[in-house]
Amino acid sequence: MRVPATGPRLLLKRLREVMAEPIGPQERLDKIVQLIAANLVAEVCSVYALRADGVLELFATEGLNPEAVHQSSLRLGQGLVGTIAAQAKPLNLKDAQSHPAFAYLPETGEEIYSSFLGVPMLRAGRSLGVVVVQNKVNREYGEEEVEALETSAMVLSELVAAGELEALNTRGVGLDLTRPIMVEGAALSDGIGLGHVVLHEPRVVVTNLFNEDADRELERLKEALAGLRISIDHMLTRGDMADNGEHRDILEVYRMYANDRGWVRRMDEAIVNGLTAEAAVEKVQSENRTRMYGLSDPFMRERLHDFEDLARRLLRQLMGKSQGALTDGAPKDAIVVARNMGAAELLDYDRAGLRGLVLEHATATSHVVIVARALGIPVGQAAGIVSRCENGDAIIVDGTDGIVHLRPAGDVEAAYVEKVRFQARRQEQYAALRDQPSRTKDGIEIELLMNAGLSVDLPQLDLSGAHGIGLFRTELQFMIAEALPKLKEQQKFYSTVLEAAGNRPVTFRLLDVGGDKVLPYLNSVAEENPALGWRAVRFAIDRPGLMRVQLRSLLRAASGRELRLMVPMTTEVDEIDKVRAMLNKEAGLVEKFGTPPPSDILLGSMIEVPHLLWQLDELMSRVDFVSVGSNDLFQFMAASDRTNSLMADRYNPVSVPFMRALKSIVDAGKRNDTPVHLCGEIAGRPLSAMALFAIGFRSVSMPPAAIGPVKAMLTSLDLNELTRICDEALAADAGRTDLGAIISHFADANSIPY
């Protein structure tokens, strides 16, 4: 097909020439508006750029009063231009002045123009400005003109993103792309990280906008689409997709979209008009994004994420880049920003250069957050952050107070540098506590254990002064492995852990896979509700091979010393019997083949499923100890998804009902002479830890970084007095009793740090 250079194509050709000219930014902008006006036979063409203070400033005009340039402005949402920028949607009006949003700017002399077409200059779903054409006569701009103006807007956004227009900013206020943004969200993992944004799913930045040969670009797009369709079909027909499930639904949607004629036609058109295939994908996706952002249907808005992913895949096909997280070339002070991510994906990053993590959707008990906390990485939560930042932007994550500063101003940064120094001093104070006994002011001993799961955690045993490891999450090792770890590898790893612990106890939790802990190399079944699904001990009982190898490795590694094991997600006591039978059998085999057995084998159960609360005596008669997994127990008791940020602060575990439930476990432990521990995240926060000690817990396990603050709290705590207060509160009306407030009031009155 020979494509004649007319209409939009001719305009793009000219724009390209202007972009290449060695001229200053104002002159370039002036030439661009002249070109657009001439091409669209408009009397006026104006460009407004969005400043960091939310004001749209007239940067160039052909047709309006030239004196108004850099003088005339509108606020975001004000007038037609402000409305276009705020809604990120075009406006095409025959009679602009009768539109309710019309605002009269006398200095521009625009009152004589009747028809109006304005389109947003978009980047990653955000408006960076607006470009407008106007005519005196009442005319409706046709599809081709809208298309031409949208393409021009794309070129203008590129100019803004490249920083060229910054030089024109006369008011000392930068353009919107440089605007500092502060987002408050949940505080997920303590600490402060200062660094630069690394987008977990990097946007493919299209910089080559203009095509040399439309036919070739059409062909490239066709090939890339074919490649994309094949890869989706391949994913759909892979064995692990055999079951219906959400994953499959998403892929079906992808397939439908990849075959959508309208989508392909719009991209073809953009190429015919002069864009490269990459720029055409970007342009059409930009329009999709704005169309779908405006929809109120949450399902469709959710699907936008899928479409974004599809467009990204298509761009990667075109640019020949492999898919998946790009973890290479990250800066030395990376703050990874993502909508959401699995724990294993976090572990793909080089720990040495990782300063922090910011997630849109996560809570304190999401596994990725638990892993980050174990690694001492500050984590913050910030809604909508991904589309507001660019790779390389400066960013600060304050995981202690739940604040994220994107592109922070100098004084904010200085304040944080000071805060980091202060925290380092605090860490020194905690370190000084390390070798002190963990005894309350009134002489009650509390065992402080740490949670672990990776070899990087082990040095923390000495550094934190933990009494031992109360929860060793064995699945983490499996999650970072490329393939299922073999018996010898597992044995070696468990030996290393035991050696590092020396005389200190280590409680290994049997594999807790399933739910949100997916092993990439195991065929996982797509489940409707994975947290309530085929996971942990349920999976282990049905696939005994996996558990057998793990038990054998642990028994061999603990030869001659104590072995403590616990079962995750126990729901019925019968499951303990099954594990116990398998353990006895494996112990017999290990001994038979010549390895001396452990000096003692203790089998415990986690209490994570509410069902167990009504079979505590039966459970305790079967196990050597129990450990409350308060993350899951609370999620199931409150029917509140631990990974859903909308639920993060809705229900408080430091509440009368939850503490009554936990106390019933402590009481059952006393009745049955069974040691009771707790290893959820609430043990690591001084305030909730106070509640746990008050209801009778004497052994808790937490992230290593929490041991200092919890010890600092308990050494100044009169526990008998707090117990009396909490007993009273637990007997009172649950609906009227704010247990958290009662405890914090007590702590304030007694100068207890929390």
Which chain residues interact with ligand PEP by CB under 6 A?
370, 471, 473, 512, 608, 629-632, 679-680
To ligand PEP, the closest distance from the beta carbon of 680 in angstroms equals 3
Partner in contact with 375, chosen from Mg ion, ligand PEP, none, beta carbon below 5 to 8 Å by kind: none
To ligand PEP, the closest distance from the beta carbon of 478 in angstroms equals 13
* Minimum CB distance to Mg ion smaller for 360 or for 608: 608
* Minimum CB distance to ligand PEP smaller for 58 or for 700: 700
Residue given tokens 């409305």 in the structure block:
83
Element (H, E) at 193: strand 192-199
> From residue 178, how far is each of 53, 172, 344 by CA, in Å?
10, 12, 33
* Minimum CB distance to ligand PEP smaller for 282 or for 681: 681
Residue 729's Cα: distance from chain center in Å?
A: 37
Partner in contact with 286, chosen from Mg ion, ligand PEP, none, beta carbon below 5 to 8 Å by kind: none
Partner in contact with 473, chosen from ligand PEP, Mg ion, none, beta carbon below 5 to 8 Å by kind: ligand PEP
Which residue has the closest beta carbon to ligand PEP? Answer: 629
To Mg ion, the closest distance from the beta carbon of 553 in angstroms equals 22
DSSP 23-54: --HHHHHHHHHHHHHHHTT-SEEEEEEEBTTS
To ligand PEP, the closest distance from the beta carbon of 458 in angstroms equals 18
To Mg ion, the closest distance from the beta carbon of 429 in angstroms equals 32
Annotate each residue in 593-622 with x if it binds Mg ion (CB under 5 A) or - if it does not, as one string.
---------------x--------------
Report residue 526: phi and psi, to 5°. Answer: -70, 125
334-338 and 126-135 as β-strands: parallel, antiparallel, unpaired?
unpaired
Strand residues in 610-656 grouped as ranges (E): 625-628
Partner in contact with 680, chosen from ligand PEP, Mg ion, none, beta carbon below 5 to 8 Å by kind: ligand PEP
* Minimum CB distance to Mg ion smaller for 30 or for 608: 608
Task: Copy the structure tokens of residue 522.
Answer: 């195991």
To Mg ion, the closest distance from the beta carbon of 540 in angstroms equals 14
Partner in contact with 131, chosen from ligand PEP, Mg ion, none, beta carbon below 5 to 8 Å by kind: none
Under 8 Å between Cβ of 717 and 686: no
* Minimum CB distance to ligand PEP smaller for 371 or for 389: 371
> Which residues have a Cβ under 8 Å from the Cβ of 59 and sit 6 or more positions away?
29, 47, 48, 49, 69, 70, 129, 165, 168
* Minimum CB distance to ligand PEP smaller for 370 or for 403: 370
> From residue 110, how far is each of 63, 119, 249 by CA, in Å?
9, 18, 51
Partner in contact with 714, chosen from Mg ion, ligand PEP, none, beta carbon below 5 to 8 Å by kind: none
**Is 378 an interacting residue with respect to Mg ion (CB under 5 A)?**
no
**Is 632 an interacting residue with respect to Mg ion (CB under 5 A)?**
yes
Residue type, 613: L
To Mg ion, the closest distance from the beta carbon of 607 in angstroms equals 10
**Is 465 an interacting residue with respect to Mg ion (CB under 5 A)?**
no
To ligand PEP, the closest distance from the beta carbon of 370 in angstroms equals 6
Which residue has the closest beta carbon to Mg ion? Answer: 632
* Minimum CB distance to Mg ion smaller for 267 or for 606: 606
To ligand PEP, the closest distance from the beta carbon of 688 in angstroms equals 12
- How many CA atoms within 13 Å lie on the side-chain side of 269? 18
> Could you tell me how many helices (H) and strands (E) the chain has, helices first?
25, 22
**What residues are paired with 198 via a beta bridge?**
336
Partner in contact with 679, chosen from Mg ion, ligand PEP, none, beta carbon below 5 to 8 Å by kind: ligand PEP
Partner in contact with 554, chosen from ligand PEP, Mg ion, none, beta carbon below 5 to 8 Å by kind: none
Partner in contact with 397, chosen from ligand PEP, Mg ion, none, beta carbon below 5 to 8 Å by kind: none
Under 8 Å between Cβ of 570 and 605: yes
* Residue 400 DSSP class: T
**What residues are paired with 184 via a beta bridge?**
403
* Minimum CB distance to ligand PEP smaller for 360 or for 512: 512
- Given 629, 669, 708, 709, the residue binding Mg ion (CB under 5 A): 629
DSSP 686-712: HHHHHHHHHTT--EEEE-HHHHHHHHH
* Strand order, beta sheet including 126-135: 73-75, 55-62, 44-50, 126-135, 115-123, 91-93
CB atoms within 10 A of CB 438: 18
Partner in contact with 370, chosen from Mg ion, ligand PEP, none, beta carbon below 5 to 8 Å by kind: ligand PEP
* Minimum CB distance to Mg ion smaller for 498 or for 566: 566
To ligand PEP, the closest distance from the beta carbon of 124 in angstroms equals 34
Partner in contact with 630, chosen from ligand PEP, Mg ion, none, beta carbon below 5 to 8 Å by kind: ligand PEP
> From residue 218, how far is each of 4, 270, 307 by CA, in Å?
15, 10, 21
To Mg ion, the closest distance from the beta carbon of 373 in angstroms equals 14
* Minimum CB distance to ligand PEP smaller for 381 or for 570: 570
To Mg ion, the closest distance from the beta carbon of 290 in angstroms equals 41
Cα-based angle 577, 578, 581 (whole degrees, multiple of 5):
85
Under 8 Å between Cβ of 117 and 146: yes
> Based on the number of CB atoms within 10 Å of its own CB, is 378 exposed (0-12), middle (13-18) or buried (19 or more)?
buried
* Minimum CB distance to ligand PEP smaller for 358 or for 566: 566
* Minimum CB distance to Mg ion smaller for 269 or for 475: 475
* Minimum CB distance to ligand PEP smaller for 118 or for 453: 453
CB atoms within 10 A of CB 52: 17
To Mg ion, the closest distance from the beta carbon of 365 in angstroms equals 8
> How many residues sit close enough to Mg ion to count as binding (CB under 5 A)?
3
Partner in contact with 471, chosen from ligand PEP, Mg ion, none, beta carbon below 5 to 8 Å by kind: ligand PEP
Q: Report the distance separating Cα 56 and Cα 129, nearest Å.
A: 7
Residue type, 571: T
Q: Which residues bind Mg ion (CB under 5 A)?
A: 608, 629, 632
